Structure formats: C-alpha cells, structure tokens
Structure 1
Amino acid sequence: MSAATLTPGTTDRPSARALPRRSFLRDTRIVLVRELRPVARDPFSLLFGLVQPLVFLGLFGPLLAGSAGGALGGDVWLWFVPAVLAMTTLFGTSVTGSNLQLDLSSGVHERMLVTPLSRPAQLVGRALKEMVPIVAQSTVVLLVMLPFGLRPDPLGAALTLLQLAVLGIGVGSLSYALALAVRKQEWMFWVVQQTVLFPVMLLSGMLLPLENGPAWMRAVSAVNPLRYVVDSGRASFAGDLASSTVAWGWVAALATAVLGLVVGVRAMVRSAD
C-alpha cells in the first residue's frame, strides 16, 4: 500500500484554469431574470403603476389645455404626454432602493454578495429590471392616448422611451446607492428621496412651462438634467429629431446613467467589505 505523494508546486485545490470565467453580460442577465420573476408572477403590479400617469393625463391634461394651451404653442398632448412619461420614470426608479432595503433586512443582499456574480452586474441587473415594467407601462400610456388625439412621431416616441430607459438606469442606480448609504437608518432613505424628487420634478418644466417663471427658477432649472430630457421628449414627439434639444437630452440622460452606475457600483463593492 503506497502513500500518496504531492509533487512540489502542486496543491489539492482546483486550478484557476479549471474555474469557469465569469461574463459580465451573463451575470447581468442572471440577476435581471431573477429580479423579473416576482414581476411576472404579479402582473397586477404593472396595472397599478398605470394609475398615476393616467390620472395626471385625465385630470391635469384638460386643465392644462384650457389654461395654458395657447402658451404651449402647439398640441397640448405632444407637450404633456412626454412629461408624464418622464414623471413615471422618475417616480418608478427613484424608489427602487426600497426594494434593496427589503433584501438588506432579510439577508438576501448578503447572500447575493457571496455568490460568484460580479458586483457591477448585480447593480446593473437590478437597475435594468426596474426599467422593464416602466417601459411597458409607458407603451400602454401611449396606446391609451392615441384615441384622444395624441399623434407622436413614431420614431421620436420610440427614441424617447429608450432615452427614458437610459435615464432610469442612472436614477435607479443612485437610489440603490442611497439605500446602501443609509442602511442603518432606513427612514432616511425616504427623507432624502422625497426632498430631492419634487424639486427636481417641478424645476424640469414638467407640469408648467418655466419661461415665465422667476429668474432664479430658470437659473436653477438650467442645471437640472431632467429638464433637458423632458424638452428632448417633447421635441422627439413633435418629430424634430435633428434638433440640439434632442441632443442635449441624450447628453443629460447618458451623464445621469454614467454617474449613477459609477456611484452605485462603488457603493455595491463597499457593501461587501
């Protein structure tokens, strides 16, 4: 009976070559599918998310047409519907950190961190998940508004949804970063979210035009990325796709996405320490 021997430089652990290489896209897809499963099992949550935009369109739209229709210089629906879609994206993605808070309290987040899935993929997969129902809801809103006279440029409407998806990834990533930053004081998440959300929304010219507002309000809105995205959506719906307004909207959406992903990934990596 011979004794087992180990040659120098060998080990009983599997070699690095034997381990499968991780793919960022594959890991992102795994996280995305995992996060979408609860949504697929509860489709009524998507229908519930349609209540807010349809209420704004049904109640605020006619008031806007009667009081400020002339000041808008064109079709009220082409002006207001893109703003409502941006509002839906902002509301939907800015609260995504609350889902992460549930994972933090239940221990799911810690279990995900010890998996081989990359930290950036975990963040991007979660952020993409939030955009799937929002894009679906926005598409339904467009279809519902067609019988009421909405006639957007088809390509412009599609590009607007894509632009809002890019913006939403950034906002959702920032929301996740906020949830991780205040994980020991969960109530602080809602304080910060509400404090930031409404000024950003109102200073985007989303509900009323800002051209006749006070000078300080116009100055603050000039540094609000959402304003450029809202204006871009209106120009795209009107078919003015080659305008600088649309270009600046894409710059604002991409800048928000990059900032959100950088901040979110750093927060996700630090949460594993």
Structure 2
Amino acid sequence: MLTDIAEPVAVRTPGIGVRHNARAVRVVLHREILRFLDDRPRMISMLVQPVLWLFVIGTGIGSLVETAVPGIDYRTFIYPGMISMTIIMTAMFSAGSIVWDREFGFLREMLVAPISRTAIVTGKCLGGAVVATAQGLIILALAGLVGVPYDPVLILTMVVEMFLAAFTVTAFGVLIAAGLKNIQSFFGVVQMAVMPMLFLSGAMFPLANLPGWLQVLTTVNPLTYAVDPMRQAVFSHLDLSPTASALLNPGVSWGDWKVPVPLEIGLVTAAGLVLLAMAVARFRRAR
C-alpha cells in the first residue's frame, strides 16, 4: 500500500506591482506604434483631409476673403486648425482599435492577463497620443509653405500642446469605444460627437464678432481650449498689426475676461486625466 503522498508544489504568479504595470503600459504603447507604422493606408488617409483643407479649400476660400482678412493668408489662419484636425482624427481612430480588438478576441486576452485595467487604458491613451503627435508633426513640417516660421520655440510649444490634446482626445475615444461592440457604431458616434465639436472649436473661423448663440457653443466646447493655444502659439510668431491680431486671434473669453493660455492648457490636461479615469472605470466593466 502506498503511504507516501506527493507534497503539493507551490506555484508563484507574478505580482501586479508598479514595475509590472509600467511594463504593461510600455508594451501596449509599443503595440500601438507598431500597428500604426504597419498601416500605411491609414497614415496616408489621415493626412489627405487636412492637406486638402489647407491647400485646396484654404486657397479657394482665401481668394474670396483676402480683403476681409487683412495682412495674412487664410491658409496661415487655418493652419493651427488643420494640425488640430489631424491629431484629433488620428487619436480617435487609434482609440477605435479597441473595438477591433474586441471583435477579433485580442481584447479578451488583454483583460485576462495579470495586469491592471489602468495599465491597459493608460498604455492605449499614451500610444494614441504618440501616434497622433507624430502624424501632426508631418503637418507641422509644412509650416513654411503657409507663411509660418520654423522657430524652435514654436515647434517645441506646438509639440507639447499637440501631445496634451491628443492624449485627451484618445482618452475620450477609449471611453466611447469601451462600451461599443462593433466598429460601425464607433464611427457613427465619432461623426455625431467629434466632428461638430471640431467645427465649433474655431479651427476654421475666428472667435471674434460671433453671433451670441455661436459664441456660447464655442465657449462651452472642450476642443476650443485645445485649438486656441496652438493658434496663440502660431500667431505669436507672425508679424501682424494689432487690428489684424485682435480680429483673427482674439482668444477665448469668459464674459469680459480673456482666458490665459496656461489655464487653457491646464483645462485640457485636467480633462484628459478625468476622461482617463472614466475610461478606466468603464473598461473595468468591459467583457
């Protein structure tokens, strides 16, 4: 009769600590970058629309409003808006890849991995921000073609502002995508929510002398506070008359008080962190 019973073997699983989650964030971020680099049609398509707006529509409309826009090419005016369009749309498409991952089963593998949901969402948002900023750099490289100088301070300022805006938009996209089951629904929500916000952000028109109802919509629009700092940065490096600057670059005002750029950047950053927390909370309920 057997009297010896084998002792159970202890199995050690990796602990979920800060270093473990940091590695998970890095892996998710790296995957987003590789996915973007491997998708050449997506890279090109994300550039076509802003380039068309900048050089085709901008040139056409500019010929009509050249007398109403003193001392500046209309393409120069909409240039910050086209950078914003590029990073916003790229960031939203990056966030939408969550829906693809759910459809093809990869998301389930990520959810059962021994990492926190916070690490997955943070890596996703950082990856989307990096990809969108890199895409925006291509439009930024076209600055000289629309009369914007290649100033190192301007370029550095724009890169920081682009990254913060892209991070916030990606977090918003992840929040939307976490509760959707198919990519058609995601793009429908993007068209319904993001495009009106983009057009109401002042990317295409000055914020001065607007009708009352439009002034209210632009003021409460979160994307306004992402677009305006970029325009402020560009216009600070242009040689314009005080009249032209006041007309084309009035900034955002709450009543009679002009909102300073640092506060706008702070609002975008705070919105990004809040949206990140909301996306994590919704992602924890995802299956």
User: Which interval holds the TM-score relative to the shorter structure?
Assistant: 0.7 to 0.9
What is residue 271 of structure 1 aligned with on the other side? 286
1:109–1:63 distance in 2 versus 1, CA, 3 Å: same
Pair 1:96 & 2:111 matched: no
Query: Which amino acid counterpart does residue 46 of structure 2 have in structure 1?
Result: G
How do 1:2-13 residues align onto structure 2 when only pairs under 5 Å count?
A: 3=4, 12-13=9-10
What is residue 237 of structure 1 aligned with on the other side? 234
* TM-score between the two structures when normalised by the length of structure 2: 0.80
Kept after mapping to 1: 8 A contact 2:99/2:180: no
How do 1:132-211 residues align onto structure 2 when only pairs under 5 Å count?
A: 132-151=130-149, 153-183=151-181, 187-211=184-208
CA drift of 1:120 comes to 1.2
1:65–1:152 distance in 2 versus 1, CA, 3 Å: farther
RMSD, matched Cα: 2.8
What is residue 29 of structure 1 aligned with on the other side? 26
SS of the equivalent of 1:173 reads helix
* TM-score between the two structures when normalised by the length of structure 1: 0.83
Partners in 2 of 1:64 and 1:212 — Cα distance? Answer: 19
Kept after mapping to 2: 8 A contact 1:46/1:133: no
Query: Which amino acid counterpart does residue 141 of structure 1 have in structure 2?
Result: I
Query: Which amino acid counterpart does residue 203 of structure 1 have in structure 2?
Result: L
Partners in 2 of 1:108 and 1:226 — Cα distance? Answer: 31
Kept after mapping to 1: 8 A contact 2:33/2:131: no
What is residue 83 of structure 2 aligned with on the other side? 85
What is residue 122 of structure 1 aligned with on the other side? 120
Query: Which amino acid counterpart does residue 191 of structure 2 have in structure 1?
Result: Q
Pair 1:253 & 2:256 matched: no
Query: Which amino acid counterpart does residue 200 of structure 1 have in structure 2?
Result: M
Partners in 1 of 2:275 and 2:16 — Cα distance? Answer: 30
Partners in 2 of 1:153 and 1:182 — Cα distance? Answer: 43
CA drift of 1:59 comes to 1.4
Partners in 1 of 2:151 and 2:198 — Cα distance? Answer: 25
CA drift of 1:246 comes to 2.0
Partners in 2 of 1:122 and 1:266 — Cα distance? Answer: 12
Could you list the runs of 5+ residues in structure 1 that have no partner in the other structure?
none
Query: What is the aligned counterpart of 2:223 among 210, 223, 226?
Result: 226
Q: Give deviations 1:18-61, integer Å, cap 9, x for gaps.
A: 74745232211011112222323344532332211111111122
Could you list the runs of 5+ residues in structure 2 that have no partner in the other structure?
238-257
Kept after mapping to 1: 8 A contact 2:200/2:217: yes
Partners in 2 of 1:22 and 1:224 — Cα distance? Answer: 36
Q: Percent of aligned pairs with the same residue?
A: 24
CA drift of 1:63 comes to 3.4
CA drift of 1:156 comes to 2.6
Query: Which amino acid counterpart does residue 263 of structure 2 have in structure 1?
Result: W
Partners in 2 of 1:137 and 1:196 — Cα distance? Answer: 22
Q: Give deviations 1:150-202, integer Å, cap 9, x for gaps.
A: 2154323322222222222222122122122232x654333322111222112
Partners in 1 of 2:95 and 2:133 — Cα distance? Answer: 19
Kept after mapping to 1: 8 A contact 2:92/2:170: yes
